[in-house]
Structure 1
C-alpha cells in the first residue's frame, strides 16, 4: 500500500513539473505577449530596454556609464539632465554654451564626419548615440558598442524632439525631469502660437553662409517657426532640403516678409560673423522687415548646432516670442 502511494505521488509531481516547463517556454524571457521589449523599461527592476530608432532596434542597458555622444542636441539634453558622458567629437564645433565638453576630461571622439574609431573602441563604451551625419557609419559604431540614432526629424520636429527626450529619460532614469521640461516648453509654445497667429504676420528664415543665402520654409530644418510656432510663411513653396533653397537679395525684396529671421552659420564654424553686413544692404532696406526693425539674428548655437535639445528648443521659443511685436 505504501509503495502504491509513493508511485502516485511521483506521478503527480511529474505532471506538475511538465506543466511548469510548458508555461516558461511559451514566451521568451524579458518579452511581452506582443514581443515588444521596450515596455519592460517600465517594469520594476528592469535593467534593459530595446530602443527602436531610424536605423534599427538596439538593446540598451539602463544607466550606461560610458556614453559617447555625436549629436549636440542630445548632448544638450543630457547636460540639462545632469548625465555624465565620456566622449564627444571635439573635432566638431561644440556649441558655446556646452564648451565645457572641450575639456580634456572628456575623450575626443574625433570629428562629426570622421570619428576616431580606434579611440572610441579603446574607451570600451556602453552606449554610442549618433545622428544623420554619422548614419552611414552605423554598422562600424555598432561593432564597438550598442548604437542608437537620435537625430531630429524636421518634418515632425516637436514629436521627434519629445520622443528623443523621453527615450533619454527612460535610459537614464530621468523620466520625471524630462516630463517637467517638456511641460514647460509646451506651455511656452502655446503662448507663442497664440501671439504669432493673432499677429497675422508672415516670416522668412534664411541661413547666411559665406555671403550666400538659403531659405527654409515649412517642413524644413527651421520650419518649426511656421509649423509649430504659428508664423505664416511668406513663401509656401520653398524647396525642402538639408541645405535650403538658394535665394538672392532680390527674392527677399520681392517676397517682402514682415519678419526676416537670420541664422549666421559663419558665426559658429570658424568664419566671420558677417551676416548683418551681408543682409542689411540697399535692397533689403526696402523691405517691411528692415523698416519695422524686424530683422532678427537667431543664435546659431541653438538653431544650427544643437537643435532638438531641452535647452536649445526652449531658447528657440524664447527668441521668436521676444521678436514678435
Structure 2
C-alpha cells in the first residue's frame, strides 16, 4: 500500500509569497518593522486585511465570525489563537473514537464545529460549505486547485497555500492565518514561543546533535523517503539532526516532498539513525531481510512510530508540536543512543 496524500502531507521551506495589509494592518498598533511587532491586544485587529497566496490575493473586510477550514492544520492555528471554526475536515488517520485528535482536547466543540469530508478524497464539499454561510475559508495547507479556489471565492474570501499545494510550513500556516483573522502579533508570538521550545529541547538532548537520519515510509514491498521541506524532516532539523547523504542527493533531483526508492536500494539511505512508520510494525521492519541490511536498523538505532496519532501530529502545527515532541524526542534519543 502506498502512503496516502494525508499520510504524506508536506511543508516547504519558509517561502511564503508575502502578507500585506490593506487599510488597517492587524492586531498590532503598528505594522511590524525593524523594531519587531507591536504588542497591542490580539482582539484589537484592524480590517480590511489582504493576504497574498499562490492562487491570488484575498481581502478580508471585517473580523471573520464563521470560519471554515480545509486541508490540514488550520483549525489548530485557530484554536491556538482562541478562535472557533464552524467546520473542520474529518480525521481519518490517528483519530480518537470521537473523531478528534488528542491535542484537540479542550479546543474542539462539537456544538459549534461540524466535520467536512476528509481531504484524502480530493473533493471539496462546496454545497456543505456554502450552507454554513462562512465569512472566511482557510485552505492554507491544502491541495485545492485553481478551479476549487474560484468556486470557494464565490462563497467567501478564501486563503490558499503560499506556494505549492500541500507545501506550507507550520510557521507560515500560523502567520498567514493570524493575518487573515486580524491576530498577527499573537500568531507571531506563538511561532517564536514554539521555536524557542524546539531550541530548548535540542539543547537538552545533545545526543541528537549532528546525527544523520533518514525518515522512511516502509511497507513489505515499497519504500519512500521524506525530503527536506517536509514538516517531519524540518522538525528533526530543528532538533539538531542532519540529513543522510543519500537523502541530500535525492533532494537535489526530486521536486516533491518525498521520493520513492526501490526497496533493494535502501542502503542508499544509510544514516546514524532511522525514523519511520508504515505498513509494518517495528518488529517486522527490523526482521525484514532487506531493511535489516541498514547498519542503523541492525544496531537498533530506530525511532519507529507505531502510534497513528503521533504520525498524524508530525504534520506539525503550533498547537500539536508540544504534544508531538513530548512523545517523539524520547524515541529519537533512544535511537541516537543505540
Settle same-fold status: TM greater than 0.5. Answer: yes
For 1:227-306, what aligned pairs fall within 5 Å after superposition?
A: 227-234=237-244, 235=246, 236-239=248-251, 240-242=254-256, 244-253=258-267, 255-264=269-278, 274-280=280-286, 281-298=288-305, 300-301=308-309, 303-304=311-312
Report Cα offsets for 1:60-119 as digits up to 9, x if no partner.
144311111013211122223331111123375575324886947533433422122112
For 1:85-164, what aligned pairs fall within 5 Å after superposition?
A: 85-90=85-90, 93=93, 95=95, 96-97=101-102, 98=104, 103=110, 105-112=112-119, 113-130=122-139, 131-136=141-146, 137-150=148-161, 160-164=169-173
Report Cα offsets for 1:39-77 as digits up to 9, x if no partner.
533457723211112211111144311111013211122
Alignment partner, residue 225 of structure 2: 215
For 1:5-84, what aligned pairs fall within 5 Å after superposition?
A: 37=22, 40-41=25-26, 42=28, 46-84=46-84
Structure of higher CA gyration radius: 1
| Contact kept in structure 2, 1:74 and 1:308, CA below 8 Å | no
| Contact kept in structure 1, 2:52 and 2:162, CA below 8 Å | no
Alignment partner, residue 310 of structure 1: 318
- CA–CA distance in structure 1, aligned partners of residues 255 and 225 of structure 2: 10
Displacement of 1:306 in angstroms is: 6.8
Alignment partner, residue 187 of structure 1: 196
Change (3 A) 1:196 1:304: farther
Gaps of 5+ in 2: 1-19, 30-43, 96-100
- CA–CA distance in structure 1, aligned partners of residues 206 and 164 of structure 2: 23
| Contact kept in structure 2, 1:165 and 1:310, CA below 8 Å | yes
Alignment partner, residue 13 of structure 1: none
Displacement of 1:248 in angstroms is: 4.2
Is 73-82 or 292-301 further displaced after alignment? 292-301
Displacement of 1:149 in angstroms is: 1.2
Change (3 A) 1:71 1:193: same
Structure with greater helix share of residues: 1
- CA–CA distance in structure 2, aligned partners of residues 251 and 275 of structure 1: 21
| Contact kept in structure 2, 1:218 and 1:226, CA below 8 Å | no
| Contact kept in structure 2, 1:215 and 1:246, CA below 8 Å | yes
Alignment partner, residue 7 of structure 1: none
Report Cα offsets for 1:4-36 as digits up to 9, x if no partner.
xxxxxxxxxxxxxxxxxxxxxxxxxxxxxxx95
Do structure 1's residue 178 and structure 2's residue 192 form an aligned pair?
no
TM-score when normalising by structure 1: 0.70
TM-score when normalising by structure 2: 0.68
Alignment partner, residue 26 of structure 1: none
SS at match of 1:118: helix
- CA–CA distance in structure 1, aligned partners of residues 277 and 165 of structure 2: 16
How many residues are matched?
Answer: 281
Is 208-217 or 132-141 further displaced after alignment? 208-217
Gaps of 5+ in 1: 1-34, 267-273
